[in-house]
Amino acid sequence: MGKRNKTYSKVNTYPKRKNNPRAKDTSVEKTKYQYSRDPDMSSANQIEGRNPVKEALKSGRTIEKILVSKGELSGSIGEILGIARDKKIIIQKVDRKKLDEISLTHSHQGIIAIGSAHNYVEVEDILKRAKEKQEDGFIIILDEITDPHNLGSILRTADACGAHGIIIPKRRSVGLTPIVAKSSAGAIEYMPVAKVTNIGQTIEQLKKEGYWVAGAEVSAEEYYFEADLIGPIALVIGSEGKGVSRLIKEKCDFLLKIPMMGNVSSLNAAIAAAIIMYEVRRQRINIE
């Protein structure tokens, strides 16, 4: 890829002894209805009961997902789910005994909502952040990343590399959950994240703002270190299993690959993101 004609700006447990009554009994397997607590469930972000969930939705609070008991679709539950669908919130139908297991209030009434561990921003806020710093924009777009540890790691690396924000889709993607917050090692407090309905439309918006869009793709013809990554740029990282989706790849200005010399055909999404993010940082250091 040749150089682009652009003007650049600077930028408590006990030992498991025999006959120890306090040692954990691991001899009995979990039954069908025994569930371990979801790490994303906590008193700070778990909303239980029909009225509390309904009011949380009406208030505009960010909800990551709603767990509803199978068969609970009539009356106020139906109304709540209707609001959730309008807001494009993920709805999961589960056994009522699972709700009993994870409930903190023991009065969930067949529905539990999981709120976000952090507030989201708008894409415009990310663009504004770059302009206020008088830097060429550097944005990470995540195409259906579902592993919270990957998202947390990407947040951490993005902060270290000087990225201005991260964009994720509302559907088929992990949100800012407590696991993500913990995995980010505090970076969630500093790295703005926008959640959008349509990644493709967002890419077009960024292009109008002067951004080049680069996608990480194992079958690309160009190595990431050969590309000109100076200037306003948005880096697209695909999902853990499928990579960048076909429609999103078509919207990228160019695709980049990472040399793979071993028997494994691809890297963990967070590792791949980190490698290319640091190349962007390296190239910017050279012109500062």
Residue 85: count of CB within 10 angstroms of its CB: 11
| Amino acid symbol at 104 | L
**Tens digit of each residue's pLDDT (9 = 90 or more) over 144-187:** 898 989 999 999 999 999 999 999 998 888 888 878 888 888 88
Q: State how far the Cα of 43 lies from the Cα of 48, in Å rounded to an integer.
A: 10
Q: Residue 178 half-sphere exposure, CB side, CA atoms within 13 Å?
A: 11
**DSSP code per residue over the chain:** -PPP-------------TT-TTS---SS---TT--PPPTT--TTTEEESHHHHHHHHHHT--EEEEEEETT--SHHHHHHHHHHHHTT-EEEEE-HHHHHHH-SSS--TTEEEEE-SS--B-HHHHHHHHHHTT---EEEEESS---HHHHHHHHHHHHHTT--EEEEESSSS--S-HHHHHHTTTGGGTS-EEEES-HHHHHHHHHHTT-EEEEE-TT-SEEGGGS---SSEEEEE-BTTTBS-HHHHHHSSEEEE----SS-----HHHHHHHHHHHHHHHHHHH-
Sorted by where each starts, the structural domains of the chain and their CATH numbers stand as: 46-115 (3.30.1330.30), 123-287 (3.40.1280.10)
Does residue 72 surpass a pLDDT of 90? no
CA separation, residue 210 to residues 60, 155, 252 (Å): 32, 24, 13
Mean pLDDT of 25-40: 38
The pLDDT of residue 59 = 77
The pLDDT of residue 14 = 37
Does residue 249 surpass a pLDDT of 70? yes
Mean pLDDT of 19-45: 43
**Tens digit of each residue's pLDDT (9 = 90 or more) over 193-245:** 999 989 999 999 999 999 999 999 988 899 999 999 999 999 999 887 788 98
**Tens digit of each residue's pLDDT (9 = 90 or more) over 89-100:** 889 999 988 988
Does residue 19 surpass a pLDDT of 50? no
The pLDDT of residue 29 = 35
Out of 132-136, 249-253, 284-288, least confident range: 284-288
Name the average pLDDT for the chain: 82
Does residue 268 surpass a pLDDT of 90? no
